[in-house]
Amino acid sequence: MPPVQPPVAEIGDAHLSPANPFYKAVAMTLLTLDIANAIISAALTRAQELGYRPMAVVVLDEAGHVKASQRADGASMFRIDIAAAKAWGAVAMGVSSRQLGERAAGNPNFFVSLAATSQGKFLPQAGAVLIKSADGAIVGAVGASGGTGDEDEAVCIHGVESTGLRVG
């Protein structure tokens, strides 16, 4: 039986194996599909346990690209788009969507402009948090939609913490 090949982390054109001294540092900051799916699963399970309305949860990577998304049975058609827009705003600005909503109250013209320039991908409404590595690096964001802003945010926090990553 041939030996099992170690996993390879890919960043752009760089391919790093565990033998490379930079592998651990790079791998620790990658948001994998498995981790994204685990965040979503934990968040949706938590929403159901707490009796929240059906939700959608979206995980974006550090560049704002969708890593994974799911819409619970019974969640309305807008939920994915709203959850993604909350997460996109958070990762783009480096703060939770709750903080963005608070900032928007004091500077509405700027935030309306952000929504317009992002082609509608930016929503400063509670319900998304940053996903941070153990060393505090932003590796993505998770957003939810379907409940109140507080409920959406709570399931996102639960999802991230269930993986051992940090919430930002």
pTM of the model: 0.82
Please give the share of the chain, as a percent, with pLDDT higher than 90.
Answer: 70
* Average pLDDT score over residue span 147-159: 98
- Residue 93: other Cβ atoms inside 10 A: 17
Kindly list the structural domains of the chain, giving each domain's residue range(s) and its CATH number in brackets, ordered by start. Answer: 1-29 (no CATH), 31-167 (3.30.450.150)
Question: What 3 state SS string does 57-82 have?
Answer: EEEEECCCCEEEEEECCCCCCCHHHH
| Listed range (68-77, 106-115, 138-147) with the worst mean pLDDT | 106-115
| pLDDT class of 94 with cuts at 50, 70, 90 | very high
Question: Is the distance from CB of 144 to CB of 131 less than 8 angstroms?
Answer: no
**Token representation of residue 31:** 């948001």
